[in-house]
């Protein structure tokens, strides 16, 4: 996990030259929809992103992410409806954004890696590497502020399988300072 993390960060940093870097911070939130998972339903996701815009093309973005999936309900053909905890995920990691566009409008594919923990009542916790891949669109209505809309596919590995979710989020980041 650490080697992959360092490799991704290293490649991202190697892509830069000694140019100015903008550093921002901001929250996001949205919906999380489990993919190919009968045991969880649609829930919510939230987190904090710290985008570091190294060059116009590339942004490296450490993040903290959390999500709470909806409970599954099933009666198994009996008169009783049972409810299973949908589970919750917390994690941190880093994404790399390939940014295109002007200062006001930006479009970016992104990919990331992180360390995640998946918890479900009555089951053992899963602490594993997770990956995210997605597309985002940003609008800057005023200087330093960027509003983001993203769609991401997130998966936490678990042996030969993975817990997967599609996330649609809205967030905002504010450029707190720039390095010369």
Partner 1 sequence: MKLSRLLAVAALTIPMVALPGCIITSAQILTHFKLPNPFTINSSVPGDQSERVPVDLSVDPGADYTDNKDKLKGLSDLAILGTFTNVSGPAGAVEVYIVPTLDQPPGGAPAIPPGAILLWGPGAIGAAGAPDGVRTVGWDESAALFSQAGKDLLISEVLGDGQFTLYTIGTAGVYEIRVDDGVLVLVLDAGN
Q: Per-residue contact track with partner 1, 114 to 143, x per CB under 8 A?
A: ------xxxx-------x-x----------
* Stretch 145-174 residues interacting with partner 1 (CB under 8 A): 155, 157-164
DSSP class per residue in 156-171: EEETTEEEEEEEEEEE
Place of tokens 């890696």: 113
* Of positions 29, 104, 107, 109, contacts partner 1 by CB under 8 A: 109
- Cβ contacts of residue 27 below 8 Å, gap of 6+? 46, 47, 48, 49, 171, 172
Residues 10-29 that bind partner 1 (CB under 8 A): 11-12, 14-17
85 is an interface residue for partner 1 by CB under 8 A: yes
Residue indicated by tokens 């921002």: 24
Determine the Cα–Cα distance for residues 75 and 81; give it in Å rounded to an integer. 4
Q: Residue 152, SS3?
A: strand
Q: Tell me: does residue 39 bind partner 1 (CB under 8 A).
A: yes
Point out which residues pair with 94 in neighbouring strands. Answer: 62, 113
Tell me how far, at minimum, the Cβ of 111 lies from partner 1, in Å: 4
Taking the CB of residue 47, how many other CB atoms lie within 10 A of it? 20
| Beta carbon nearer to partner 1, 104 or 135 | 135
Rule CB under 8 A: choose which of 3, 18, 79, 103 binds partner 1: 79
The Cα 107–Cα 150 span in angstroms is: 10
Q: Is 2 in the site for partner 1 (CB under 8 A)?
A: no
Residues that bind partner 1 (CB under 8 A): 4, 7-8, 11-12, 14-17, 36-39, 55, 57-58, 72, 74, 76-80, 82-85, 96, 98, 109-113, 120-123, 131, 133, 155, 157-164
């Amino acid at each position: 996990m650490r080697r992959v993390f360092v490799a991704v960060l290293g490649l991202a940093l190697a892509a830069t030259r000694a140019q100015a870097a903008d550093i921002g911070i901001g929250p996001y939130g949205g919906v999380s929809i489990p993919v190919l998972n009968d045991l969880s339903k649609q829930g919510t996701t939230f987190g904090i992103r710290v985008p570091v815009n190294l060059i116009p093309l590339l942004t490296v973005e450490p993040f903290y992410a959390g999500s709470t999936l909806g409970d599954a309900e099933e009666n198994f053909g009996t008169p009783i409806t049972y409810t299973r905890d949908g589970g919750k995920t917390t994690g941190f990691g880093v994404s790399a954004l390939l940014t295109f566009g002007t200062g006001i409008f930006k479009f970016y594919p992104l990919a990331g890696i992180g360390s995640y923990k998946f918890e479900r009542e009555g089951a053992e916790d899963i602490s594993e590497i997770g990956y995210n891949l997605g597309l985002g669109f940003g609008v800057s209505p005023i200087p330093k502020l960027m509003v983001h809309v993203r769609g991401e596919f997130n998966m936490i590995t678990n042996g030969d399988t993975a817990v997967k979710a599609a996330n649609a989020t809205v967030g905002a980041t504010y450029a707190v300072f720039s390095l010369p």
